[in-house]
Structure 1
Amino acid sequence: MSLNPEQRAAVEHDGPVAVEAGAGTGKTHLMAHRYLWLVEHKGFSPLEIVAVTFTEKAARELRARVRRVLQGQVAPERVYEVEAAPIGTLHSLAARICQEYPEEAGVHPAFRILDEVESALWLSEHLDEALEEGVPPELQQLLPYSLLEEALLTLLRQPLEAEQAFRTLEQRLAGGQEALERAFHQGRARWAHQVRSLAEEMDGELRKMKSHHHPSQLVNLYHAVSMLLEAAAAAENDPQMARKHLEEIRFLKLPRAPEAREFLRDLKDKARRAALFLPEMGSGDLFLLKHRHLLAEAFQGVRNFLQRRKREDGVLNFADLEVHALRALDHPPVLEAYRARWRAFLVDEHQDTNPIQGEILERLFGEAPVAVVGDRKQAIYGFRYADHRVFTGFVEEVKTRPRGRAVRLEANYRTQAPLLEAVDRLAEGFLGPLHQPLQPTRPAWNSPEPCLWRLVFSGSLPSKDKERLREAEARRVAQEVRTLLEKGLPDGPLRPGEIAILARTWNTLEPFTRALEAEGIPAVSAGGGGPL
């Protein structure tokens, strides 16, 4: 596949470039060709190019793709260097920094990385001792142990952000009691603004739904949005009444129509969270403001104890890698050494980086040519506190640089035109301003039959017989799969391994597996036990 004009613009740009790439727009293809351009036209060795991806599997795929693209285009020794090139995840990059500069990073020279399970077990083994040593006695008397443990564990999950939060809070409250009350009222004003914004958002979404739903399907949606608008009207002057309206929304019955049902479920969740976070004097907000020094002391004491013990045991978890790598980069000689060694950067899936990872990358970038690829709409994982605003901020910052450039990829190479158009219509309804229409490049569906159809299952079975309805649904889907296998597709036969059935949870997937096996169709279940 050759480069399209947008891909070529990103690949050959001699300066920092931020690429907003929709699904199926050839991101890996772009990354591999950017890598080739850096070697062929900028004269960099693969050992000088850092390529960061989201998973180890993606890193292996990128390394293989780079190797193929370079073969026959550059000197053989450059191709051989790809095997030792720094292509990997952000955590592997952070681990490398900690291993090469353990003293500056403040880690054991021969540290071992704990996986998620090992990290949880290690923490449970040492937490009681850490709390006993690190928490001031005054705070132990003010808070029950369970609440104290929960609060400190929350702070420890993002230690650098917790430190920044304490510093910011202290700055805002430098004026004493008057500043404390002012901060409280500012919090109330922000809460009222959030409630009003939520009401406007959901009212707008409901207006869009009116055109393709019968009014009877939207009755409870009207009630919910009406209560939300009443909450918004009262939020500024009567926040308690506003919260009452928000809490009443949860009692509304969900409608049967799937889209309306999902809308009200989402609205209920947002209203519940809005009600939960109303700042109140005499609640946890006031406790935090009054006892912030004790909380900060407890957080730092517990954190110092755990860091000391980890150094003694020679272990780090994934979050520790980021914190200690950043600590190593605080030393100018370390940062200068890496900037001299690593002269160009490629970052994929940047929307899934967290603020600490974003800071590590920003420090390393310096004036090097950087290509960052991401898509805010695909920031679905929330993996280790990923925040798509890190990517958004980088895109906006690149636009202000003298040689910076932002590129959008919209040509989709994965999906046929009719299906992509249907997905676009659906996405426009719930993504709003984030929606980025994709342009199909694959040919249209070469068949008089539809490429997309909707099966609606309904019945009058009582709620206790929902399982029977689910089994009937699975049998019907299995029959459709059997028909597809027998008829094939316009471009050739179809194999069972080329068909996927997606379900929200493991339990709802099981009936489909049984129904397929009853039809003689081999099926393999994959996934976790929670929502997909």
Structure 2
Amino acid sequence: MTIEQTTLLAGLNEPQKRAVTTTDGPLLILAGPGSGKTRVITHRMAYLVQHEQISPWRILGVTFTNKAAKEMRDRLEKLVGVSESKEMTIGTFHAICARVLRIEADHLAPLGLNKSFVILDTEEQTALIKQAVKDLNLDEKQNKPTTMQALISRAKNDLLGPEQMAEQAAKYIEEVAARVYKVYQKLLRANNSVDFDDLLLLTEQLWRREPDVLHHYQMRWQFIHVDEFQDCNLPQYKLIRLLGYGTSDRHEGLGNVCVVGDDDQMIYSWRGASSENVIRFEEDFPRAKIIMLEQNYRSTQSILDAAQNVVRRNRLRKDKKLWTALGSGEKIMVYEAYNEEEEGLFTAREIMRLLARGEIEKRGDVAVMYRTNAQSRAIEEQFLRANIPYKVIGSRKFYERKEIKDMVAYLRLLLNNHDELSLKRILGGRRRPL
């Protein structure tokens, strides 16, 4: 064992070491919460470079958020160095697909797109859908743009075009959405723009219809790593399958696909994520090895046992036996309040009790989590009455601020003179000297 190999494997438990060193063929890593999956996936990528002598240029790492992609990049810089980590392709599905589509822009010309296409955010998509509803002389109150947007997005996540959506419509609202979808797509193309769902859809279509283009990327990214695999929707799964396996006619993928996830932590079912991903993977990659990461480094055993007893009732999951070396810990307390006001009052009193008994040093040691933003009102009211200072996490993001979006509209119009949405934003605001 070399010094580099020893360093990479130091501090890993046995299942983690197997996951890092199993580099040939498809691999499914089922990682329980707090089991060190990010460490495993980054060490595996580093192991390929340092021990297997794989060129970093051949390695792909896919995440679900920009923050996760940055964390992966930062860790790899420490493991393999800045220059080699930069050669790896690391990013979200959407970012990688956007890059592919700009490189292969010649294939988008029949769709009315060029490499300067604009990616619309949620607010801009809603504006365009409003325009589509208006063009169809539909009542906006009865056919809310947000509802149309959700139905169109769901159709795209199911790889359905407007005609297919219309054929499969089971309700009147879905028939209307299919009509809006058709006009919406025309408006997108007229603006040389795409939405986030299009990035996945267009890349899947490109690779499926252009086998030579697909083969180029199969040879480029010979070792594929996918984090949070349980949250993949159908287009994302199809992209993984195309790269790692190929099409039904040409099986030219090398099969070196490593997916890491936990079917018990699926949180994106509303946008097409499916618990069947694990089953699909095993069917499409029958040679796949399965490694369970069951040691938890974050929680106590009482928390793990409670969580397992809840999720064990779920169907279509692989059973895991999560354990920890951190001891049993405090018992979990459940309090059933009469209403939301009583729930807020209990929370405030519990914080004051913990402070009075010295069980916590400061209020900053406490985190209060709720399922929806609307639930914060009752809690905030009780905190104000009890004079408990607090900070609500989740304010408007920087790039969603009006003044920033105004400035970006100018820049986008300079880059893409077909961008009518940006022009309308500029002309629709307060008067500006020209």
TM-score exceeds 0.5: yes
The residue aligned with 1:280 is: none
The answer on whether the counterparts of 2:128 and 2:184 sit within 8 Å (CA) in structure 1 is: no
| CA–CA distance in structure 2, aligned partners of residues 442 and 325 of structure 1 | 45
Over 3 Å counting, the alpha-carbon distance change for 1:319 and 1:427 in structure 2 is closer
Report the residue type matching 1:389 in the other structure: E
The answer on whether the counterparts of 1:46 and 1:82 sit within 8 Å (CA) in structure 2 is: yes
The residue aligned with 1:476 is: 349
The residue aligned with 1:239 is: none
Q: Find 1:113's aligned residue among 103, 114, 119.
A: 119
The residue aligned with 2:232 is: 353
Paired residues for 1:215-364 under 5 Å: 299=178, 305-329=183-207, 330-364=209-243
2:319 matches 1:436: yes
The residue aligned with 1:376 is: 263
The answer on whether the counterparts of 2:121 and 2:196 sit within 8 Å (CA) in structure 1 is: yes
- TM-superposition CA deviations, 1:176-202 (whole Å, max 9, x none): xxxxxxxxxxxxxxxxxxxxxxxxxxx
Structure with higher Rg: it is: 1
| CA–CA distance in structure 1, aligned partners of residues 385 and 148 of structure 2 | 51
| CA–CA distance in structure 2, aligned partners of residues 443 and 148 of structure 1 | 51
Report how many residues are paired.
372
Q: Which has the higher contact order (CA 8 A, sep 6+)?
A: 1
Q: Find 1:410's aligned residue among 291, 294, 298.
A: 294
| CA–CA distance in structure 2, aligned partners of residues 286 and 454 of structure 1 | 44
TM-score by length of 1: 0.61
| CA–CA distance in structure 2, aligned partners of residues 370 and 328 of structure 1 | 20
Q: Find 2:100's aligned residue among 97, 103, 106.
A: 97
- TM-superposition CA deviations, 1:123-180 (whole Å, max 9, x none): 2123443x47xxxxxxx9xxx995799789835642463359959979xxxxxxxxxx
SS of residue paired to 2:160: helix
| CA–CA distance in structure 1, aligned partners of residues 371 and 141 of structure 2 | 37
The residue aligned with 2:303 is: 419
The answer on whether the counterparts of 1:155 and 1:162 sit within 8 Å (CA) in structure 2 is: no
| CA–CA distance in structure 2, aligned partners of residues 499 and 506 of structure 1 | 18
The residue aligned with 1:174 is: none
Q: Kindly indicate which of the two structures has a greater share of residues assigned to helix.
A: 1
The residue aligned with 2:84 is: 81
SS of residue paired to 1:408: strand
Q: Per-residue deviation at 1:516?
A: 4.9
| CA–CA distance in structure 2, aligned partners of residues 377 and 286 of structure 1 | 32
Sequence identity of aligned pairs in percent?
27
**Gap runs ≥5 in structure 1:** 72-78, 133-139, 171-283, 460-465, 489-493
The residue aligned with 1:9 is: 18
Q: Per-residue deviation at 1:473?
A: 1.4
| CA–CA distance in structure 1, aligned partners of residues 216 and 391 of structure 2 | 49
